[in-house]
Chain A
Amino acid sequence: MMGTSFKFLTRATDNASLGAFRVLFGLLMFAAVVRFAAKGWIREFYIEPTYFFTYEGFSWIHPWPVWGMYAHFVLLGVLALMIAAGVYYRAAVVLFFLGFTYAELIDKSTYLNHYYLVSVLAFLMALLPLDERFVWNPFRRHLPERLAAPAWVLYALRLQLGLVYFYAAVAKIHGDWLLRGLPLKFWLAARADLPVIGPWIAMPAAALAFSWFGFLFDLTVPFFLLNRKTRTYAFAVVVIFHAMTAVLFRIGMFPWIMIATATVFLSPDWPTKLFSRFARRERRSDRVESSPRRYGWVFATAVALHLIVQVLLPLRHWLYPGDVLWGEEGFRFSWRVMLTEKDGSVSYEVSDPLSGRRWEIDPKDYLKSYQLKQMSTQPDMIRQLARRIAEDFEAQGYPDVEVRANAMASLNGREVKPLIDPNLILAKGDL
């Protein structure tokens, strides 16, 4: 059994789709970086804010000075192109992973599932030999190219992407999504102006139909993509589905990343089939096919560990009490995509037991509007800012102040209720 599995995973597989995956990923990341800069988000997200919600264990990560942040994104763009071309691939993808993840770790407010996906994929790509096809390296000529890679390389990428879809489906097994069509009901009603489909999608029944379609799509599409007979149709559905989400919702690069990465489910030789003339030329060149790789087992082990973490990480919310959509413990890094319409408001009450004085602190004094929106529904961020407020009061000569939050929020249109007990002391002195 073990032997069969080992043979199955190590058998030589056409690596054309792996090369294409790398090229598409690199080009999309270049586009994403250019788009990010063009929208002014480098300044808005990393230069203008005076306070950043750092991740636990990563509070040492701070933005570069102004010129450094711009240089950082220029470098990310260059690295993305290097990944696409396969130029010094390993170094480029490792640096891209570090650089992209660094930017994401600066502030929780900018967390997005697809940014996380980029980091995860870049990390995985750094462990995989994706630079053996479709390489254009002007600095090195006569590269010995391989036509094949061990099958596990392809399966690792497929499993990673399959996990995204699978856990996105699991997260949708919730009364709001499956029984009430929430939050799509609100979001689709907001698109009632769209030509032709607008009035239809604004109907409550449409929200429920979209919810179920979304759930079934996420749950089944990896399997249909894996099946040779259904693969082509499933990929067409992937394109239509994600293109539709791009039209209906403001989700930036996410649909395009999902479409591009889904190509890894196609036949491993799809690029050579698609560009058959190019493929004929390629076959005439001198290459080594699926020869053993140095330290291949080390990379395979690292990939296996990575995938185990990816399987377990989205399940960690079971360790916490309550609805993950409300308390959000274990919400991030678990592919809970587009599940909530959650809005709230927060004000802090600072009291000094010694003097009896009380202040109401508006978080707007500390935050940019997008940070405020994110923070107002996420208890861990509310607590983080409370600590900062306590520190500021300590610096002003009030070392023993108690900081409480009046945080009210609504989940998926329900009545507003306190997100945190207003009597709970979130920060006190040096606590």
Chain B
Amino acid sequence: MKRLILSLSSCLLLAGAGALAWSHFGCSKAEPAVDRNAIFASLVSDVILPEHADLAQKTQDLSDATAALCADLSDTSLETARSRWKDAQFSLKKIQVLAFGPYVDGGFGVRLDFWPTRGDSIETVIAENDDFSDDFVDTLGVAVVGLPALEYLLFQDSILDAKRCSYAAAVARDAAQNAAALREAWAPEGGNFGAQLIQAGQGSAVFATSQDLLNVLVNQMLTVVELLKDADLGKPLGKKSGGVLMPDLRQSPFSEFSIQDMLANMEGVRELYLGSAAGQGVRDIAAAQDAFIADRMTTYMDDAAAAILGIPETFPDSLVGNTPVVENAFSKIAFLRSNLAGNLSGLLGVTPFFNGNDGD
């Protein structure tokens, strides 16, 4: 009996040692272990802070351009203001993947990007008031401010009216102030929320573990991709309406900027995943588990972005006249979403959706 137990134990130990050797030399596709906090620090310094600074700058430029438009109600000034709006909008859509922390807690996100636009409410504000001071705009609800409201105002010819322009300028100032406050909330010299990410699992008051932060980052990517699929592409494609095309449900309908909106979203997701050119991102954490799968994610992101880029302007024209191209973009985004939810989440031990129950 003792011999049998001894033999069995020896076999099991040998098998274990063999498995260890095989996993080490035979099947490992993983890159070396990574310092997660160094990656978070890289994301904060190389991606998050610059992107927020960019948004603050672009919204300030927009505010200046809108003020200039009001001083000179000309087509040239209007074109400049519209161009600045597009720059700011692209920047805002890029940071949509960072919709956590101050973006949510400070209420900046909803103040800057409430959508869909409520034109009736905006018209009521303009009709019922004459003075659009900063204090007055502060009291207004989110449905009548932010970049979507500005799009509604700037991309209609009726903007060449002193009173409407005055309101647009006030809304642009409000957007610039909020974007600046959002940047401040992240900046080391301000609220320093970036430090919460850098110190995740090492004393951060927000992210008790690095895994908590990773959960947030991956779920943010997932959320943006899901919105692209369901809201930005799915609804106009009629996925919720029995196949009846619904071009009116597109984003940024006044500026016909919806394709750029989607590209900006994808760029934001890609930056969070890859980090800056010189830095690191979520991909590096995933690659420590499986470099092949980690790089496949990049390919799928590129494929999705290319498919969106392949939609000819304008979006509603393509939707109606070139539906297969839009369907192709939808498929690529859906595939990316499946891979983020299935593969990346699994690789990183992330729970794609909140689940309070105990697992076993």
Report A's interface with B, CB cutoff 8 A.
39-41, 44-45, 110, 112-114, 178-181, 183, 185-187, 189-193, 202-205, 208-209, 212, 216, 249-254, 337-338, 341-345, 347, 352, 355-360, 362, 369-370, 372-373, 376, 406, 408-416
Contact = CB atoms under 8 A, between A and B. Distances in A.
Contacts of A415: 293, 296, 339, 343
Nearest to B211: A190
A357 B343 contact: no
A366 to B, nearest CB: 14
A186 B346 contact: yes
Contact of B289 (A41, A186, A410): A186
Given A44-B356, A254-B360, A178 B210 contact: no
Contacts of B201: 192-193
Interface residues of B, number: 57
B230 interface: yes
A180 to B, nearest CB: 6
A416 B339 contact: yes
Given A212-B19, A357-B244, A360-B240, 20 more contacts: A41-B356, A112-B359, A180-B23, A181-B23, A190-B209, A190-B211, A190-B214, A193-B201, A202-B33, A205-B24, A209-B20, A342-B346, A343-B341, A359-B243, A369-B355, A408-B342, A410-B343, A412-B346, A413-B343, A415-B343
A362 B19 contact: no
B36 A410 contact: no
A242 to B, nearest CB: 12
Given A192-B210, A209-B20, A413-B293, A370 B342 contact: no
A406 B334 CA distance: 10
B133 interface: no
A178 B347 contact: no
B136 interface: no
B210 A370 contact: no
| SS of A interface (majority) | mixed
A412 B240 CA distance: 33
Contact of A179 (B19, B234, B359, B360): B19
Nearest to B242: A357
A192 B211 CA distance: 9
A186 to B, nearest CB: 4
A358 B242 contact: yes
Interface string B19-33: 110111001101001
Contact of A192 (B15, B36, B244): B36
A360 B239 contact: yes
Given A180-B27, A341-B346, A189 B288 contact: yes
B322 to A, nearest CB: 19
Given A192-B36, A205-B23, A249 B239 contact: no
CB-based closest 8 A-B pairs: A252-B358, A193-B201, A190-B349, A408-B338, A410-B342, A357-B242, A360-B239, A369-B353
